[in-house]
């Protein structure tokens, strides 16, 4: 048996040993630094996700990994890998499609009617691997085809470098794009030539007005975001935060929204009872007062 096999056998012996004490240390850290709730019922999930890092680093226990992560070196070297494994990045093209319909039928015509030469600015906060960004980009590019003077820019931010890398590549498995209407697929996606690896890549026009940045929504202020936006999507991100954190994040995001700008949240999220400068327009759609 080679060394790696022996090693992985040994690891399997203590696979179940993410102790409550170590779990609490990780859970408190994830909550205080990133706002993400990690209740005790998620201990087995966290254990499974961290095991990948432990194997990769050839460490011997969760305790050893914890000491490394919390060390000065770990906070520099490991923190982004840790974030990649603890965040939930589920996303899709045309997820919650009524938001894109609303963008097309209401937000864009309203903007175009009053705009000078300013581009329309939209931000996806918690953009994950880019499906939301490219759905925005298809919607805005389509609008531009009908309104050639219309200009726009799209910003995507996330805390996970892993998903930001995927968003930058813009390459997706074929089955992920099933939901996109055929006519739009033909216009905006390129099929890979490889028979074994069936993927599509977004065409350059979907990326030309797009920028991506790392941003932790828990930061005291979003000082590396200097613009004000016409619309902000923060969908299926707030759900991981507690109520007080949600309210604080929404207030910080709203300070980057123009008066009259639109704010979109996910369908399982709510702003009811929060002290935020947004008025309710439709379920999950708000406007800056
Ligand atoms: C479930 S995905 C949602 C993606 C997309 N908005 C959608 O609705 O399909 C949530 C994203 O929020 C990001 N996230 C979680 N906590 C964050 C934080 N503190 N700051 C910034 N992004 C965060 C995760 O990395 C993940 O990519």
Q: Which CATH architecture has domain 98-288?
A: 3-Layer(aba) Sandwich (3.40)
Give the sheet arrangement for strand 120-125, strand by strand. 210-214, 152-158, 120-125, 229-234, 257-265, 285-288, 278-282
**Residue whose CA is closest, atom 2 of ligand 1?**
89
Residue 2 has pLDDT above 70, yes or no: no
pTM for the full model? 0.91
pLDDT at 8: 47
Mean pLDDT of 204-229: 96
What are the start and end residues of each CATH 1.10.155.10 domain in the chain?
3-86
Mean pLDDT of 130-155: 97
What pLDDT is stored for residue 10 in this prediction? Answer: 47
**CATH 1.10.155.10, domain 3-86, yes or no:** yes
Tell me: the pLDDT tens digits for 22-65?
A: 999 999 999 999 999 899 999 999 999 999 899 899 998 999 99
CA distance 180 to 206: 14
Ligand 1 touching residue 256 (CB < 6 A): no
Mean pLDDT of 186-190: 97
Inter-residue contact 118 to 174 (CB < 8 Å): no
CATH 3.40.50.150 residue spans of the chain: 98-288
Instruction: State residue 16's pLDDT score.
Output: 55
Choose the residue to mutate in 85, 127, 159, 231 for probing ligand 1, maximizing ligand atoms within 8 Å of C-beta. 159
Residue 133, Cβ neighbours under 10 Å: how many? 27
pLDDT computed for residue 194 by the predictor: 82
């Amino acid at each position: 048996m080679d060394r790696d096999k022996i090693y992985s056998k040994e690891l399997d012996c203590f696979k179940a040993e993410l102790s409550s004490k170590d779990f609490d240390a990780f859970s408190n850290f994830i909550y205080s630094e990133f706002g993400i709730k990690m209740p005790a019922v998620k201990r087995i999930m966290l254990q499974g996700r961290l095991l990948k890092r432990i194997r990769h680093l050839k460490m011997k226990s969760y305790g050893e990994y914890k000491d490394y992560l919390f060390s000065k070196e770990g906070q520099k070297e490991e923190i982004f890998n840790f974030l990649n494994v603890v965040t939930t990045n589920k996303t899709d093209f045309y997820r919650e499609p009524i938001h894109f319909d609303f963008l097309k039928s209401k937000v864009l015509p309203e903007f175009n009617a009053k705009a000078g030469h300013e581009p329309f600015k939209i931000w996806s906060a918690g953009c994950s691997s880019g499906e939301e960004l490219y759905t925005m980009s298809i919607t805005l590019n389509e609008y531009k085809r009908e309104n050639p003077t219309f200009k726009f820019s799209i910003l995507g931010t996330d805390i996970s470098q892993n998903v930001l890398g995927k968003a930058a590549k813009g390459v997706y498995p074929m089955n992920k794009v099933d939901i996109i209407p055929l006519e739009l697929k033909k216009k905006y996606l390129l099929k890979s030539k490889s028979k074994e690896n069936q993927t599509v890549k977004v065409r350059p026009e979907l990326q030309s007005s797009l920028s991506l940045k790392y941003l932790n929504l828990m930061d005291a202020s979003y000082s590396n975001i200097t613009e004000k936006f016409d619309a902000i999507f923060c969908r299926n991100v707030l759900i991981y935060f507690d109520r007080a954190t949600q309210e604080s994040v929404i207030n910080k995001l709203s300070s980057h929204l123009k008066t009259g700008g639109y704010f979109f949240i996910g369908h399982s999220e709510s702003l009811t009872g929060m002290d935020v400068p947004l008025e309710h327009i439709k379920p999950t759609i708000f406007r800056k007062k």
